[in-house]
Amino acid sequence: MRMSSRLSRRAFLGCGALALAALIYYLLDRLWYAAAPRQAAHWFDDSRDWQQMDKAGHAFSTYQMSRIAHQLLLWAGVAPEKAHRYAALLGFAALSPIELLDSMAITHGASAYDLVANATGAAFFSVQEQAAGKQLIHPKFWFAPSPYAILRPDKLGNNLGEQLIKDYNGQSYWLSFPLPFLLTDYQWVRISVGYGATGMVYGNPNQNHRAGYQSRRHFFIGLDVELPACLRKNKVGQFIGFLSDMLRLPLPKIER
């Protein structure tokens, strides 16, 4: 790639990233925090809230942001041995400023545990690229509407779009592993382990219990599938494959 082409792609990437970040934080401020009274910035210990499902969400989101940033950096001509490090930093930087919005909401507060989860997701991406040159273990997500959102729609979501982000009862987070004994042509079949929780109308477990609800953790194991490599040879296939590496379909699973 010519130097001028690399520079123009990097300039486009930088401007696009700044514009997207500004849009995301504007929307978050309007949609998530607008109704919350403001106060001076402060910290908040939320380590016991939501059965740590929100922390799994932070790690997953930062990992995926790092993954997207990595593809864009390679497109912009950044050397592979540097791209994964920069991508991890960008993934962490993309989500961590949300804590600034949290810190000024009287109902929230900046969470050191959220920052640790963000760093974990970014590091998980970078370490795999450094060690294997690719992502062997894929963090994944799935959502199914829960019966709890209707009990507290202001907090858990008034519609499916809001519930997808806010209702931790309907979310599950997974780690998808390759099966080393399979031939290369069949390595789109994988095994995954997952985590979820239900019974959470309130985040704090004591408050939730006083309101008459009992939260419960769920652990899963099941088969997983992704788009085979032979179907990823064009742009559409690559996009679908990218999604299949991120979403765990509702296949049969064993729950503990």
Q: Are 56 and 140 in contact, with CB atoms under 8 Å apart?
A: no
- Alpha-carbon distance of 95 to 61, in angstroms, equals 8
Query: Span 162-191, mean pLDDT?
Result: 93
Give residue-wise pLDDT tens across range 129-167: 999 999 999 999 999 999 999 999 988 999 999 899 999
- Alpha-carbon distance of 7 to 76, in angstroms, equals 8
Give residue-wise pLDDT tens across range 46-104: 999 999 999 999 999 999 999 999 998 998 888 988 999 999 999 998 888 888 877 87
Query: Domains of the chain: which residue ranges?
Result: 1-135, 137-256
Q: Are 92 and 124 in contact, with CB atoms under 8 Å apart?
A: no
- Alpha-carbon distance of 158 to 150, in angstroms, equals 8
If you search the block for the tokens 């210990």, which residue do you land on? Answer: 45
**What are residue 89's phi and psi, to 5 degrees?**
-65, -40
DSSP state of 182: S
Residues near 113 by Cβ (< 8 Å), separated by ≥ 6? 45, 46, 47, 55
